[in-house]
Structure 1
């Protein structure tokens, strides 16, 4: 097996994995109300949707999942999923 073929396949997997994470974060950010963001003491819904939407678009437009912008938006998506989303879900439980 060629090393470069393996590396290309791995980078393609990383690309689609990060695209999936960013897309999931963006879609879930759209599902919560603006009041929930304020009640949780987080950035506004518009801010999170803009950050996550730009991250998703950047992942599609810029080549390579390991560029500096893609890494910054990936970190933002993971922060949303690890901190903001659980706080929002905690507010909306019945």
Structure 2
């Protein structure tokens, strides 16, 4: 049971990391420069590293069907999902505002 819970959490973390990386790769470098939130290269390297550590956390236990280690691998995976979370919670909304998909642009139809 512990194996399934830790692998499920690892998969969730990896999904968040992949989401952040894919969004970062699809965004132009000029948009990053306009946000004053570091460069595209910085965020791409950070989210790619996060995804790499999330993948490493899962690959060993899934191949061997043993409980994931609770040591350095988990710590690196948690750090990676935290970095991806910072990108998704802070940088991505600012980029969306610049592209016109911010909160004020969502429902322009009815006043209901």
TM-score scaled by length of structure 1: 0.86
Structure 1 or 2: larger helix share?
A: 1
Gapped regions of structure 1 (runs ≥ 5): 1-5
Q: Give the paired residue count.
A: 89
Contact preservation (8 Å) 1:25, 1:80: yes
Q: Which whole-Å CA distance do the structure 2 matches of 1:65 and 1:78 have between them?
A: 23
1:1-94 to structure 2, matched below 5 A, reads 6-62=1-57, 64=68, 67-93=74-100
- Which 4+ residue blocks in structure 1 deviate beyond 3 angstroms? 62-66
Q: Deviations over 1:21-50 (max 9, x none)?
A: 100100000111111111111010001000
Q: Which whole-Å CA distance do the structure 2 matches of 1:30 and 1:65 have between them?
A: 31
Contact preservation (8 Å) 2:50, 2:77: yes
Contact preservation (8 Å) 2:25, 2:44: yes
Please state how far the C-alpha of 1:65 moved relative to its aligned partner: 8.2
Q: Higher mean Cα deviation, 62-71 or 6-15?
A: 62-71
Q: Which has more radius of gyration?
A: 2
- Say what the alpha-carbon RMSD is for the aligned residues: 1.7
